[in-house]
Amino acid sequence: MNSSKNTARLAGLLWVLIAVTTGFSLVYVRPKLIVFADAAATANNILACESLFRAAIASGILGQIFTLFFGLTIFRLFKSVNDKLAMFFLTTLSVGVGVGIVNSLNNLGALVVLGDADYLKAFPREQLNALAMMFLRVNNFGIGLMEIFTALYLFSLGLLIKRSGYLPRILGILLMIGACAFPINTFTKILIPQFHPALIMQLTMILNAFGSPATMLWLLIKGMNEPRPLSET
């Protein structure tokens, strides 16, 4: 039982590290440097704070590595509850991690075209700024694609929590509710970009402001209850 509690607390710690690293990259640095309506201003911001932008890229990659180890830890805790559902959780999480790491190449691409390499002198600065913005916008859609897999693994984790009794069932329900907001945000952005108000993004953030932080803190502080999986029916 102590081993299970320690493993649960490890999962909570990894979740905290995910929140810190991805939060630094997406919540702090990204809005600070990127102005999607102004390619020139964005280029100037990145060049003026290049070290910060590079740190955000590295932080994002670290966040994906922490996510992979988090997935393996959760799989170990919940595979006895429902091995197929636990495997689905780990698979979707792993795919999301792969998408996230590959998506980092878009930010690196923006850095390359804004660099001072000799071969770039053949292009006017305005074209390079526009190309950098293209990379950043593709990265933005890559984040949306990651959200699809985030929704899948959070929903499956919510189901595992609800069925297991290892954690309060309300945490599982909150995770499932929050997970449903991600696809709405992503598919609205892809299918009808002209109708993607900030309200949808805000709703996604609000619905995920309860389940994930509460579950993360519960795992970190309380660990988990004695393993007594409930019937799947």
pLDDT tens for the 233 residues of the chain, in order: 568 889 999 999 999 999 999 999 999 999 999 999 999 999 999 999 999 999 999 999 999 999 999 999 999 999 999 999 999 999 999 999 999 999 999 999 999 999 989 999 899 999 999 999 999 999 999 999 999 999 999 999 999 999 998 999 999 999 999 998 888 888 888 888 776 666 677 777 787 888 899 999 999 999 887 655 444 43
pLDDT at 228: 54
List C-alpha distances in Å: 21 to 55, 66, 101, 139, 186.
10, 9, 13, 17, 22
Nearest of 218, 229, 224, 220 to residue 86 by alpha carbon: 229
45 and 35 Cβ atoms separated by less than 8 Å: yes
Confidence (pLDDT) at 94 = 97
Report the predicted TM-score, pTM, of the whole model to 2 decimal places.
0.89
Contact 73, 158 (CB under 8 A): no
pLDDT (0 to 100) of residue 68: 98
Spatial CA neighbour of 53 closest among 132, 100, 107: 107
Whole-number pLDDT of residue 116: 87
pLDDT, position 195: 67
* Residues 115, 129: Cα–Cα separation, whole Å: 11
